Structure 1
Amino acid sequence: MTADDSAATRPESMRILDRACVIVHQHVTTAYPPGASLPSTKQLALALGLPEKHVHQGLLRLDSLGEVALHTGSLPIRLRPREPHPRDRALHGAVRDRIRAGHYRPGQALPTGLLGEEFGLLPHHVQRALRFLTAEGTLRYDEHGAFGPGHYVPVALAGAVS
């Protein structure tokens, strides 16, 4: 089975939504520089000629990827490259502090479900936050880790978290 075969078996409504999300992504990443506020969902829908619900879904996907920040108390914002999502900052600080304090030890898998509950983040938002920490080297993702696939404290990092 190829990717085209699996796409062909998806309902037409899902394929339309996927295309709309691609359009929203392309528009946002080319028309708005990092750090810029985006127009409202309604204004984007009018500009793109798409249903408002499809534009909203596209923005939700961009939020999950860490490309934009929604629900910040104002209009959506296009995030800068390597800029953490505003809702992830508390989790970032806590993980760094816990590594520094020895609460999370080198080689230990992070309890992602518990972290999500503690910080009020959905599982895909926890993954977004941990991708950021992995990119900066605070964590490592190991598909074949000792406790299964997951995010682990790197052995070399032990006392080096700043």
Structure 2
Amino acid sequence: MTQIAEATAAMREILTHQPFDSNLPKTEDLAQHIRQPVKITRQALRNLNWDGDIAIIRRKHARRLRPGETHPDDKAIVNAIREDIESGRYPAGSPLPTGLLSTRHRISVRQMTRVCRSLIASGLLKHDPEGCHGPGLYVTEPASTPARETGLIEDYAFAGQACHLHGEDLGPA
């Protein structure tokens, strides 16, 4: 394990004892606590920031985020994708084109992962390892849809229609 990975793991352990929405201690104090140089501790904090565990605010302080909370740097992108989903641009059952979206919003794949984590927590996306187009993130049904039993024959017919709508040939019906 590298020194940065060890420092990141140590910082994650510290976070488990830190209340949500609270500011973390100063970097120098954290470095002393985990017995790592300040430079390595800063990199560990950056890793936690990129993973969405904390938010570094204007390089002055870091705040622990709640699980599923949108990172402050991602709010505009999350809102734009949410609007696209709610407007029907990405209908329920369709895969979310994360590569295209990261290019469109000029963000890294790592930041796109953080954005998607927030959308998963809000229920707009789900990871489907066996989706129509292979493993990936798919848009979920709107929350206003009344709950009903799953596994009915209509569910399979609908799934076939959804795959057909997205260009996948399922063979004769």
> What range describes the TM-score normalised by the shorter chain of this pair?
0.7 to 0.9
Amino acid at match of 2:39: K
- How far apart, in 2, do the equivalents of 1:97 and 1:45 lie? 41
Q: CA deviation at 1:73?
A: 5.4
Aligned twin of 2:134: 148
Normalised TM-score (structure 2): 0.72
Tell me, which stretches of 5 or more residues in structure 1 are unaligned? Answer: 1-13
| Aligned pairs for 1:9-158 within 5 A | 14-30=1-17, 32-72=18-58, 74-154=60-140, 156-157=141-142
Q: Computing the radius of gyration over CA atoms, which structure comes out larger, 1 or 2? A: 2
AA aligned to 1:125 is Q
Bigger proportion of residues as helix: 1
Number of matched pairs:
145
Change (3 A) 1:109 1:159: farther
Q: Report the AA paired with residue 23 of structure 2.
A: S
Identity %: 35
Is contact 1:100–1:159 with CA below 8 Å preserved after alignment?
no
CA distance in 2, matches of 1:87, 1:112: 17
Contact 2:4–2:40, Cα closer than 8 Å, also in 1: yes
Aligned with 2:61: secondary structure?
Answer: coil
The question of whether the paired residues in 2 share the 8 Å contact of 1:105 and 1:158 is answered with no
- Structure 2 gap segments, 5+ residues each: 146-173
Q: What SS is found at the alignment partner of 1:59?
A: helix
Distance in 2, Cα, partners of 1:33 & 1:120: 32
Question: In 2, Cα distance between the equivalents of 1:158 and 1:20?
Answer: 40
Partner amino acid, structure 2, of 1:157: P
2-structure distance, mates of 1:23, 1:47: 9
Shift of 1:112: 0.9
Deviation of 1:158 (Å)? 8.4
